[in-house]
Chain A
């Protein structure tokens, strides 16, 4: 069986990209993992349509099947051959031929149907999986799009009008998949105000103790200048302890400057003490600003779903607790998540 065209892009939406769970193994080359910012949502969408869900970002080696990540304003897609889709993540009011369709559910669509979206009711990023998984050539082991580096996905860029998307041959018959649902109690909830669990460090010791307390006590607002590289937060300025002379000479004159070291996705840099930036899945692997904390990987899904101006708090957990939370979250996407 060969790849088969399924969608023609009528309107690309704000930023719609092809993503799987990402491209591990290239951090030392400066190539970020990319992949779905809300990996749990993409996994559940793939589970619904019978695709490989893949493993966990950064530590897994199987990125699973590719779907679409859609930011705030979804695309309009014309179906060119019948298939089964599932929409998860943010509620962007998904519709087929103008009629609302249920989320977290496998929905059959037929040739000439039109998939559209309304307005963003909750969350920021929705995911659309299609039976078989989107067929684009893998680049460095993943189909994920990294727009800045111009690699992966469809020509290394976001979708444009008149693009045509193909799928790989599905493993299951459409009739078998149709109307499967995620167990309601296992659908990820995103309560407001949001909470992002962090492990303090690696450079929390460079901040004043009062500023570390302020960081954990503040209702931060997501800045509209946030993207897959980094999410900025608006709130009070944070202050640094006095620094040794050699750092002024080697790292730079700003008190937040350090000699560059490794950054993980989720790490929170605070350039000049202003607007902490939590690194996203397309974020840099190396940087010269002090990092006060790192968002634990299961909560990247929460970060991905924050809308501009939405409020969040950072809550410190210790590294061992973070490992336990991580191991529990690894189960998301297993077959028993289906009703």
Chain B
């Protein structure tokens, strides 16, 4: 593969392997390819990896592998990486009550009348168009982290919707709220400060530490880098019905296995 990587230090237990400094699906594919190659190499001392939009964090045990040897290994792996043009990708359906009362209340509490109205004005479109543009494309999860199940997803194809971050971050945001900054969609799993524009609230849990629902059989956090999200607008009645099923433990998550092909328009 024709990729240049830069090694950046994260102390003595983690190494950042940087493919670039920008959001670009092609970079994320390189990150995922290296992640896979490192895991398949089964080299002793590599403890965990943290894929992001543009870099791979590699946690390593210096008692088992020194940084200079780890760098040498990664350079070799990167040289041998196949140019990835497709990647296994789950399609996860996430219902959203756009412009829900919690988001409205949270915006008002922080001096903004309504975030959907704000986005409509900022993009020169009607408020319904904000929702249809956001829900009208699939979104690619290219980083997971910050808090349990917080993710960042970039639109696949042209969304024609952007939102600035709040200039003064909010003091709190309700859990379950889906939000937008630039073209990145993210999510607040727990009540937390934040600066993204509020889009709506999902009734489904993306973090289940007790792993009760079958969707969490492999781990406590649903979003994974390389997932595609489909956001489906729902109303208040549907929200309550789905929420009751989630709380009862019998909600059936809609997750389909698939493959995503890298296309020029995504980059």
Contacts and interface: CB of A to CB of B under 8 A. Distances in A.
B209 interface: yes
Given A28-B49, A29-B149, A140 B165 contact: no
A27 B8 contact: no
B14 interface: yes
A108 interface: no
A189 interface: no
Nearest to B66: A323
Interface string B161-182: 0001100000000000000011
A252 B21 CA distance: 13
B221 interface: yes
Contacts of B61: 56, 59
B48 A262 contact: no
Kindly state the interface size class of chain B when it binds its partner.
35 or more
A322 interface: yes
B23 interface: yes
Given A29-B144, A59-B60, A247 B12 contact: no
B57 A246 contact: no
Interface in A267-323: 267, 284-287, 291, 294-297, 319-320, 322-323
A262 B55 contact: yes
A28 B47 contact: no
B185 interface: no
A271 to B, nearest CB: 10
Contacts of A325: 12
A202 B165 contact: no
B41 interface: no
B8 A58 contact: no
A140 B14 CA distance: 21
A54 interface: no
B178 to A, nearest CB: 16
Contact of B50 (A59, A259, A285, A294): A285
B66 A262 contact: no
Contact of A323 (B12, B145, B209, B221): B12
A284 B145 contact: yes
A261 B190 contact: no
Contacts of A202: 8-10, 16, 18
A287 B146 contact: yes
Nearest to B55: A261
19 contacts: A25-B48, A29-B145, A29-B148, A29-B149, A30-B148, A30-B221, A148-B192, A149-B148, A150-B209, A201-B10, A250-B23, A259-B23, A260-B143, A262-B52, A286-B152, A287-B146, A296-B12, A297-B12, A326-B12
Given A264-B57, A294-B9, 19 more contacts: A29-B144, A29-B219, A148-B147, A149-B147, A149-B190, A150-B209, A199-B10, A199-B12, A258-B21, A259-B54, A260-B152, A261-B18, A261-B54, A262-B52, A264-B14, A319-B12, A320-B67, A323-B67, A325-B12
